[in-house]
Structure 1
Amino acid sequence: MSESTKVLIIEDLPTDAMLVEHEVREVLPETSYLVVETAPDFLAALDSFQPDIILSDYSMPQFDGLTALKLAQEHAPDTPFIIITGSINEETAVACMQAGAWDYILKERIMRLGQAALAALERGKERLEKKRATEALEQSETLFRSLFEQHAAIKLMVDPVSAVIVNANQAAAEFYGWSREQLRSKYVFDINTLPPDQIRANMQKAAADKCVYFEARHRLANGEIRDVEIFSSPIESSGRIHLHSIVHDITGRKEAERALVTAKEQAEAANIAKSEFLANMSHELRTPFNGIMGMMQLLQTTPLDAEQQEFVAAAIESSKRFTRLLSDILDISSFEAGKASLTMSEFNPAEALESVLDLFHLRAREKGLDLDLTVDPAMPRSVVGDVARVKQILFNLVGNAMKFSDRGAVHVRLIPLSAAKGGDLRAMFSISDTGIGIPDDKLASLFKPFVQVDGTYTRSYQGAGLGLSIVKRLMGMMNGNGCVESEVGQGTTVHVILPFTLPARDAAKTAHAAVPRVRKEHLKILLAEDDSLNQMFMTHVLKKLGHAVTVANNGQEAVDLFQTRDFDCILMDIQMPVMTGVEATQRIRSQESEAGSQKSEDGDRTSAKGHRTSGTQVSGLIPPPSPHTPIIAVTAHTQPGDREKFLAAGMDDYLGKPVGIEDLEKVLKKIQGDKWS
Structure 2
Amino acid sequence: MDKTKILLLDDREENLLSLKAILDRDDIAIYETTSPNEALRIVWDNDIAVALVDVQMPGMDGFEFAETLASNPKTKEILIIFVTAISKETTYAVRGLKSGAIDYLYKPLDPYITNAKVDALIRLSRSQREVRDKNRLLENYATVVTNSPDIIATIEPETGRIKSINPSVNTILGLSPADLINTSMLDLLVEPRSSNLQEVLVKRSYTEGNTIVIEDRFVGMLRQPVWLELRLMYKNRLLFVNLHDIGKRKAYERDLVDAQQVAERARKTKESFLANMSHEIRTPLNGIIGIANVLEATELDFSQRNLLEMLTQSSASLLNILNDILDISKIDEGKFSIVLQSVDLRNLIKGILDLLKFKADEKQIALRSYVDPNVPECVMADGLRLNQILMNLAGNALKFTASGSVEVRVENTGSVGQFHQIRFSVVDTGIGISQDAMANIFSEYGQATDKTAHLYGGTGLGLTISKKLVGLMNGELKVESEINKGSEFYFTFNLAEEKRVVASKESVPFNELAPFTGKKVLVAEDNKVNALLIRKYLTSWNVDLTMVENGQEVIDALSDGKFDILILDTRMPVMDGFEAARFIRQNMKLDIPILSLSATVLAEEVQEALSAGMNDTLAKPFQPAKLHEKIEALI
Aligned to 1:494: 491
Distance 1:563 1:220, change over 3 A: closer
Match of 1:664 among 605, 624, 632: 624
Match of 2:200 among 192, 198, 201: 198
Question: Which letter does structure 2 place at the counterpart of 1:368?
Answer: A
Residue pair 1:484, 1:493 contacting (<8 A) in 2 also = yes
Distance between the aligned counterparts of 2:445 and 2:139, measured in 1?
A: 64
Matches within 5 A, 1:531-550: 531-539=527-535, 550=546
Residue pair 1:397, 1:468 contacting (<8 A) in 2 also = no
Distance between the aligned counterparts of 2:541 and 2:237, measured in 1?
A: 93
Residue pair 2:470, 2:476 contacting (<8 A) in 1 also = no
**SS of alignment partner, residue 451 of structure 2:** coil
Aligned to 1:458: 452
For residues 364-420 of structure 1, the C-alpha deviation after alignment (integer angstroms, 9 at most, x for no partner) is: 574533335569788987x7xxx8x65224422443145326525313368997769
Distance between the aligned counterparts of 1:148 and 1:591, measured in 2?
A: 72
Residue pair 2:229, 2:244 contacting (<8 A) in 1 also = yes
Distance 1:352 1:642, change over 3 A: farther
For residues 612-656 of structure 1, the C-alpha deviation after alignment (integer angstroms, 9 at most, x for no partner) is: xxxxxxxxxxxxxxxx67x54433122236456546766566443
Q: CA deviation at 1:247?
A: 2.5
Match of 1:481 among 469, 474, 477: 474
Distance between the aligned counterparts of 2:413 and 2:615, measured in 1?
A: 33
Match of 1:392 among 385, 391, 394: 385
Question: Which letter does structure 1 place at the counterpart of 2:165?
Answer: A
Distance 1:564 1:222, change over 3 A: closer
**SS of alignment partner, residue 450 of structure 2:** coil
Q: CA deviation at 1:530?
A: 0.7
TM-score (norm 2): 0.61
Distance 1:95 1:80, change over 3 A: farther
Distance between the aligned counterparts of 2:427 and 2:204, measured in 1?
A: 69
Aligned to 1:268: 264
**SS of alignment partner, residue 230 of structure 2:** strand
Matches within 5 A, 1:413-424: none
Report the count of equivalent residues: 508
Distance 1:272 1:248, change over 3 A: same
Identity of aligned residues (%): 25
**SS of alignment partner, residue 324 of structure 1:** helix
Distance between the aligned counterparts of 2:459 and 2:152, measured in 1?
A: 60
**Which runs of no fewer than 5 residues in structure 2 stay unpaired?**
1-30, 48-55, 70-74, 76-125, 190-194, 501-512
Aligned to 2:598: 635
Aligned to 1:208: 209
Question: Which letter does structure 1 place at the counterpart of 2:409?
Answer: H
**SS of alignment partner, residue 215 of structure 2:** strand
Distance between the aligned counterparts of 2:145 and 2:206, measured in 1?
A: 22
Distance between the aligned counterparts of 1:343 and 1:585, measured in 2?
A: 29
Aligned to 2:285: 289
Question: Which letter does structure 1 place at the counterpart of 2:228?
Answer: V
Residue pair 1:410, 1:432 contacting (<8 A) in 2 also = yes
Matches within 5 A, 1:42-81: 69=38, 78-79=44-45
Q: CA deviation at 1:183?
A: 1.7
Aligned to 2:230: 230
Distance 1:270 1:547, change over 3 A: same
Distance between the aligned counterparts of 1:80 and 1:307, measured in 2?
A: 111
**SS of alignment partner, residue 396 of structure 1:** helix
Distance between the aligned counterparts of 1:501 and 1:133, measured in 2?
A: 78
For residues 433-487 of structure 1, the C-alpha deviation after alignment (integer angstroms, 9 at most, x for no partner) is: 22368777777666543344x24332466543434544565677x6x52124543
Aligned to 2:569: 573
**SS of alignment partner, residue 495 of structure 1:** strand
Aligned to 2:410: 412
Q: CA deviation at 1:432?
A: 1.8
**Which runs of no fewer than 5 residues in structure 1 stay unpaired?**
1-53, 59-64, 82-89, 103-128, 421-425, 504-517, 597-627
Q: CA deviation at 1:494?
A: 0.8
**SS of alignment partner, residue 185 of structure 1:** coil
Distance 1:292 1:336, change over 3 A: same
Distance 1:655 1:287, change over 3 A: same
Question: Which letter does structure 1 place at the counterpart of 2:548?
Answer: A
Distance 1:341 1:458, change over 3 A: closer
Distance 1:593 1:175, change over 3 A: closer
Distance between the aligned counterparts of 1:438 and 1:55, measured in 2?
A: 87
Q: CA deviation at 1:220?
A: 6.6
Distance 1:213 1:277, change over 3 A: same
Question: Which letter does structure 2 place at the counterpart of 1:267?
Answer: A
Question: Which letter does structure 2 place at the counterpart of 1:208?
Answer: G
Residue pair 1:156, 1:172 contacting (<8 A) in 2 also = no
Distance between the aligned counterparts of 2:348 and 2:553, measured in 1?
A: 37
Aligned to 2:92: none
**SS of alignment partner, residue 343 of structure 2:** helix
**SS of alignment partner, residue 432 of structure 1:** strand
Aligned to 1:169: 166
Distance between the aligned counterparts of 1:483 and 1:645, measured in 2?
A: 35
Aligned to 2:427: 434
Distance between the aligned counterparts of 1:450 and 1:137, measured in 2?
A: 70
Aligned to 2:524: 528
Q: CA deviation at 1:533?
A: 3.0
Matches within 5 A, 1:320-399: 320-337=316-333, 340=335, 342=337, 348-351=341-344, 354=347, 358-364=351-357, 366=360, 367-371=365-369, 391-399=384-392
Q: CA deviation at 1:228?
A: 1.0
Distance 1:351 1:564, change over 3 A: farther
Residue pair 1:378, 1:416 contacting (<8 A) in 2 also = no
Distance 1:189 1:522, change over 3 A: closer
For residues 589-615 of structure 1, the C-alpha deviation after alignment (integer angstroms, 9 at most, x for no partner) is: 899986x9xxxxxxxxxxxxxxxxxxx
Residue pair 1:283, 1:637 contacting (<8 A) in 2 also = yes
Q: CA deviation at 1:360?
A: 4.1
Question: Which letter does structure 1 place at the counterpart of 2:328?
Answer: I
Aligned to 1:217: 217
Question: Which letter does structure 2 place at the counterpart of 1:154?
Answer: I
Distance between the aligned counterparts of 1:465 and 1:155, measured in 2?
A: 61
- Higher mean alpha-carbon deviation, 156-165 vs 180-189, is at 156-165
Distance between the aligned counterparts of 1:148 and 1:352, measured in 2?
A: 74
Q: CA deviation at 1:294?
A: 4.0
Q: CA deviation at 1:531?
A: 1.4
Distance between the aligned counterparts of 1:577 and 1:287, measured in 2?
A: 15
Q: CA deviation at 1:320?
A: 2.2
Distance 1:443 1:536, change over 3 A: same
Distance between the aligned counterparts of 1:502 and 1:133, measured in 2?
A: 82
Residue pair 1:227, 1:249 contacting (<8 A) in 2 also = yes
Distance between the aligned counterparts of 1:332 and 1:563, measured in 2?
A: 44
Residue pair 2:393, 2:489 contacting (<8 A) in 1 also = no
**SS of alignment partner, residue 196 of structure 2:** coil
Distance between the aligned counterparts of 1:163 and 1:535, measured in 2?
A: 77
Distance between the aligned counterparts of 2:416 and 2:324, measured in 1?
A: 32
